[in-house]
Structure 1
Amino acid sequence: MKKAITLFLLIAIIGLVSSQIQTKDKAKAVVQKDTLKKDKTTIEPEIVFNDSMIVVKGVFKPYKSNVYASYYANKFNGRRTASGKKFDNTKYTAAHRKLPFGTKLRITNEANGKSIIVEVTDRGPFSRGREIDLTKKAFMEITSNKSSGTFKVKIEVAN
């Protein structure tokens, strides 16, 4: 009987010691993961306001091309957006379904090559087949046909 109890206690002690060794190894692994240096080679875009033009110096990464853009109706002016900001149709903002709020985008009209820089402040568009909603000011600045409601664009995200 004493041999059985001694054997049981020995197995229990070995189990505890091995579990402590494993947790120490895991803790070391976590510490090693956290001490890895992060890559800080990305360049933040710098926005420069000239007399009549906004120039963005920085890197833009292609996101999607050959997708449709539309613009907000005037009835949304003054309402709150999904980000909590007040919507203003005279600013350079946009609505996108997935991109995070505050993301800077370069939207280029594929027909004429004109582009504009906008910031994502809302969710939408909720119409199938459209990728992004622009404010009326941004839309009219890059469209070639002022009477159209949509056109194909290329979307690039600022790094």
Structure 2
Amino acid sequence: MKTFYKIAQYAFKLYIFLLVLFVISCGSRNASNGSYRSTTVSYYANKFNGKKTSSGETYRHSKMTGAHKSLSFGTRVEVVNVENDRSVIITVNDRGPLKPSREFDLSQGAFKKIADLNEGVVKVKYRILK
């Protein structure tokens, strides 16, 4: 009987531990607390237009989409150019960017909403939308 209680206590502690890990992982991945984070962004080259993205969608440079290393596909993100305050809402549908200093690559259409294409790379703030 004593062994049964020890096993039950161990199982309960393991259950609580796994539950806490699950809640933390769900809450930190796509939840927005309304605060902005800073990064730099660029945009996809024309050669990718019509090619498949990591999500399986076809990339279209006119759509308001972007790539991120880990956000779930379908996550909506507000991206704001810190120089001119112009913003765009994108939907994550690809993986990237390859540059470690950037968290997003935007479609050309999304990038044009916040900056001139000749700029190439701009400083932004972003927040994940619910």
TM-score by length of 2: 0.77
Unmatched 5+ stretches in structure 2: 24-31
Q: Percent identity?
A: 37
Output the amino acid matched with 1:62: S
TM-score by length of 1: 0.64
* 1:69–1:150 Cα contact (<8 Å) kept: yes
Higher relative CO (Cα under 8 Å, sequence separation at least 6) belongs to 2
Q: Distance in 1 between matches of 2:108 and 2:33?
A: 23
Q: Distance in 2 between matches of 1:121 and 1:137?
A: 14
Q: Distance in 1 between matches of 2:61 and 2:122?
A: 18
Of 103, 107, 112, the residue aligned with 1:131 is 103
Q: How many residues align?
A: 117
| Deviation per residue, 1:3-32 (Å, 9 max, x gap) | xxxxxxxxxxxxxx211122344566659x
Structure 1 residues 149, 126: closer, same or farther in 2, change over 3 A? Answer: same
List aligned pairs for 1:8-157, cutoff 5 A. 17-26=1-10, 30=15, 61-65=34-38, 67-143=39-115, 145-157=116-128
- RMSD, matched Cα: 2.4
Q: Distance in 2 between matches of 1:28 and 1:150?
A: 51
Output the amino acid matched with 1:127: K
Q: Give the structure with higher Rg (CA).
A: 1
Higher helix share: 2
